[in-house]
Structures are given as structure tokens and as C-alpha cells.
A and B are shown apart, each in its own frame.
Chain A
């Protein structure tokens, strides 16, 4: 379980996260929603110690990740898979090597095993043929799917998706949503989906956490989200529905 408590974070005089607290229980899929620039990616980076809070704490399985050594933090990160907003594929490596990368750094697997796992992961995102291609030779959507394959290659217990469906066509978006749902159902994975796509939120999440201007404005189940009469939340949700169109 991940517990974020009273986290504040500023860049210069820009106060981005303001007293943010949220609990992410084991096995749950939580959607972190909010407008562009509200601090979603910054919050997500705090979950794996890529950014340190100015005050407050982040604990993973009871360990305060900002109070441990680098080697220990590395062991914590072993349990995480992260899909970054732009994919963040290493552009000097081809798709196969990208997916193999976490397997090489974290495990002692043989090349044959690595090759098998990489192929499985690429097949899962329906890209079994692109292994030899460099990221620059792939479309944006394909890059994102390779990045997803890389994020799940180690079968992490926690998977963080930063905008998994933004920039994808609706059909691919649905495939990705399904994939996230499947991964969450299998193996009791805890998923954190950062998104402003309400369509995917309704498809995949158990719970939502709504960040508004750097504050955790609202948290609750998807059920409660439908019935909430919070004006700001409602405005966010309806703006999204309007954009997607009636479905």
C-alpha cells in the first residue's frame, strides 16, 4: 500500500502540491484526475522517489521512501512499473532492448528467458514485429505501447500509468484500457492511472482522486463520483464528457 501524507512541493516560488494526502490500498486501481498543469505528474513522481517532497511523506509498504538509502530505494523501485507520459523510451535502443532493459538491470535472467519475456510483452501490446525498430521509427501510439510493455515486463506489484491513452485513437485507447484492467485483475496489481480522460476512468478505475490547483480536492469511488454534487468536480467531469461526446 502507498500512503501519501501532507505532501508539499514547490519549484522556486511556484507551489505545485499543497498538502496532498492520498492512500492507495493494495490491489486497487486508482485514477488520479485533474486538469493539465494541476500537478498530477509531479505527484506521480513522488510515489517512486523521483522527486522529494518539501514536507510531508510518502510511504510504500510502510517504508518512508525519502528516509532510506539509495540502495534501499532501488529495492523499492523493483516493485514498480512506470509508463511515463511521453513513453520515455531510450532512443539509443531498439524496442526489444527497451523492454529487456529492466529485466537486465533487476534480474539475473538468461538471454533466452529475457528474449521470451520481451516477446510475450510485445505480443501483449500487439507489437510483436517491431522489436528491431528504434523508437524514432515508431508512431507515437506505438511508442506508448512499447513503453507499456516495458513497464510491465518485470511483473511489478505497482504500475503507474501517466496518461496512458492520451494521443491514442479511441480503439487503441480501449485496448490499452482493457490491458490495464486485465493486469489489475491478474496478480493483484495495484494500479495508479494518471489521466484526464474520464472515459478511461469510468472503464478501469475503482476509485478516483481529483487534484485541483495542487490540492487533493476530492477522493472517492467511481460510484460516488457519479453522484457527487461538488461543483468543481462536476465541471471537470462534464467538460470531459462533452469533449468525448455522448457514448
Chain B
């Protein structure tokens, strides 16, 4: 028998349904702060502090590489060198800072969340939590998502500083753009809305990565293999939806 609606349409819709349902339950549990306060702190450390070094490293390098490449592309004597500073600063703030942080968090935090919750699911620890009177959604998901939403902007800001810093450094040391011109360009073309846009993006990314990974982990099925599947799916889905959100936000807000 050929089904009326193929799985390829049904599956994403039913996943979206269960995802929204899970979020709905999570929001319902937001008020049970007492049950997850301790967890929230631990998650903020895990999401934020532990990812800080790698985010800073990646952002510094992407800022530096962009500076070298932009200088290489703008070889015309008619274009002032300071333009490079303007381009690096705004692309870091508008796009690279958030996206670099997002990809790192999708791989690092998203995969970890899915593996953690997935293991708890298949070893019946989530059932045990429920049996012992805890709302597992509130206890496990709320602190992770809140930690993501709070800590992502912090990481984003750090990424921007590091990326721009990396650009300045390589520009000066490598003789591509003198420091004063870089700073001049960055100041001259600075748009106050850019960082606001970046922060909005960070909040959305932080929410997407953690909530998607929680969703994948929480509904894990089928033993160790299922945990592995949930982990990869969490990282991949986080990246895909992050790019999608990136585009949508750019179209809507810029």
C-alpha cells in the first residue's frame, strides 16, 4: 500500500510537533527554579566557560585569516587600507563572531548535551527522575537551554574581540594594514545596530543549539547505538538550523 503522505513529509512535521511540545513543557517548568538552580550554574560553566578557549582561538584565527585575504583582494591603490579594518570589524560583528561560535558550540555543546540526555534516557535515568517526583523536562532541559541563551552572547562578544584583535595583530605584524588605519576604518564605518544584531543572533543561536540537542537526546531510542545517532544528529541539525536562522535573521533585520 502506498501511503497518502510520504514519510519524508510526515516525519519532519511530527518531529516539529514533538519539538514544540517539549519546549512547551519546558516553558511550563521554568517557574520550578528550585529544582534546577544548582544544575543551571553547572550548565553555564559547561556551556560557557569550558568553550571559551576554543571559541577565542577559532575567532582569533578567522579574524586574522580574513584580514590577510581581504588585504590580498583589495590591492588597488585607490582603496584606502583602512577599509580592511572596516570590513573585518563589521563582518566579525555581523556574521563571523556568531557563526564561528555557533559551529563550535553545535559540535561541542550540542553533541555533549545529546549524548548526556541520550545516555540518561537509554539507561532509564530519566524514568528514575520522573518516578522520584522530578519533572525531568524542567530538571534537565530548562537549565541547559537557559545556559545556552545566557552564555552564547558572552561567547559571541569574546569571539568578536578576539577576531578583531587577531585581524589587527596580523595586519600590523604582517604589514598588511597598519594598526592606526585598521582602527580608523573600524571606527569610521561602525554601525551601532551591528552589535545589537549580533546579540539578537547569539540569543537565537544559543536557544536553537541547546534546545535541538536536548530534543534529540531526550527522545533517544535504542541503546548505545541510539545515543551515537542522537549525538551526530544533534550536531548536524544544530548547524543546519543555525544557518537557516542566520539567513532568516539577515533578511528580516538588515
Contact B133 A78 (CB under 8 A): yes
- Is A236's CB within 8 Å of the partner chain B? no
Q: Is the CB of A102 within 8 A of B135?
A: no
Does A74 touch B at the CB level, under 8 Å?
yes
Q: Report how far A85 CA is from B123 CA in the complex, Å.
A: 9
The CA-CA distance from A77 to B133 in the complex, in Å, is 7
- A85 in contact with B124 (CB, 8 Å): yes
At the interface with chain B, which of A86-94, A110-118, A197-205, A217-225?
A: A86-94
Q: Which of B119, B124, B127, B132 is within 8 Å of A102, CB to CB?
A: B132
Does A50 belong to the interface (CB within 8 Å)?
yes
Minimal beta-carbon separation of B142 from chain A (angstroms): 15
Query: In the complex, what's the smallest C-beta–C-beta distance from A155 to chain B, in angstroms?
Result: 14
Within 8 Å CB of B35, what residues of A? 105
Cα–Cα distance between A119 and B35 once the two chains are bound (Å): 24
Q: Mark A54-86, 1 if CB is under 8 A from B, else 0.
A: 000000000000000010001001101010111
Residue of A with least CB distance to B122: A86
Q: In the bound complex, how far is the Cα of B125 from the Cα of A45, in angstroms?
A: 13
Most buried by A among B123, B125, B133, B134: B133
Asked if A90 and B124 sit within 8 Å, CB to CB, the answer is no
Task: Quote the shortest CB–CB distance from B234 to chain A (angstroms).
Answer: 19
Give the total of B residues in contact with A, Cβ under 8 Å: 14
Docked-complex contact B132 and A88, CB < 8 angstroms: no
Please, which residues of chain B bring their CB within 8 A of the CB of A146? none
- Interface residues on chain A, number (Cβ under 8 Å): 20
B73 within 8 A of A: no
Task: Give B25-46 interface residues, CB cut-off 8 Å to A.
Answer: 35
Provide the B104-135 mask, 1 if CB < 8 A to any CB of A, else 0. Answer: 00000000000000010001110111111111
Contact A50 B132 (CB under 8 A): no
Chain B interface, >50% SS class: helix
Interface SS, A side? mixed
Minimum CB–CB distance for B112 against chain A, Å: 13
- In the complex, chain A residues whose CB is within 8 Å of the CB of B135: 70
The interface bits of chain B over 130-147 (1 if a CB of A lies within 8 angstroms of the residue's CB, else 0) are: 111111000000000000
Which residues does chain B contribute within 8 Å of A101, judged by CB atoms? 132
Residues on B with C-beta less than 8 A from A106 are 132-133
| Complex Cα spacing A174 to B79, Å | 86
Cα distance A80–B124 when bound, in Å?
A: 16
Q: Looking at the complex, which one of B119, B124, B133, B134 makes contact with A84 (CB distance below 8 Å)?
A: B124
Contact partner, A82, options B123, B131, B134, Cβ 8 Å: B131
Contact indicator B131/A50 (Cβ below 8 Å)? yes
CB–CB B131/A91 < 8 A: no
Chain A residue at minimum C-beta to C-beta distance from B116: A92
Least CB separation from B125: chain A residue: A88
Min CB gap A55→B, angstroms:
21
With a 10 A CB-CB cut-off, give which of B123, B131, B135 has the most chain A CB atoms: B131
Across the interface, B130 reaches (CB within 8 A) one of A50, A89, A90, namely A50
Q: How far is the CA of A85 from the CA of B122 in the complex (A)?
A: 11
In the assembled complex, the Cα of A78 lies from the Cα of B133 at a distance in Å of 7
Residue A48 is within 8 A (CB to CB) of chain B in the complex: yes
CA–CA, A80 and B132, complex, Å = 8
CB contacts (< 8 Å) of B131 on chain A: these are 48, 50, 77, 80, 82
B132 touches A84 (CB 8 A): no
Q: CA–CA, A90 to B119, complex, Å? A: 11
Q: Is the CB of A91 within 8 A of B132?
A: no
* A50, B126: Cα distance in complex, Å: 10
Decide: B133 and A86 in contact? CB cutoff 8 A: no
The answer to whether A45 touches B132 (Cβ under 8 A) is no
Q: For B130, what are the chain A residues with a Cβ–Cβ distance below 8 Å?
A: 50, 77
Q: Which residues of A contact B124 (CB under 8 A)?
A: 84-86, 88
Q: Closest CB of chain A to B245's CB: distance in Å?
A: 31
Show the binding face of A for B, using Cβ within 8 Å: 45, 48, 50, 70, 74, 77-78, 80, 82, 84-86, 88-91, 101-102, 105-106
- Enumerate chain B interface residues (CB-CB to A < 8 A): 35, 119, 123-125, 127-135
Given A77-B132, A82-B128, A91-B123: 10 more A-B contacts, CB < 8 Å: A45-B127, A50-B127, A77-B130, A86-B124, A88-B125, A89-B125, A91-B125, A105-B132, A105-B133, A106-B132
Q: List 15 A-B contacts (CB under 8 A).
A: A50-B127, A70-B135, A77-B130, A77-B132, A84-B127, A84-B128, A86-B124, A88-B123, A88-B125, A89-B125, A89-B128, A90-B125, A90-B129, A91-B125, A105-B133
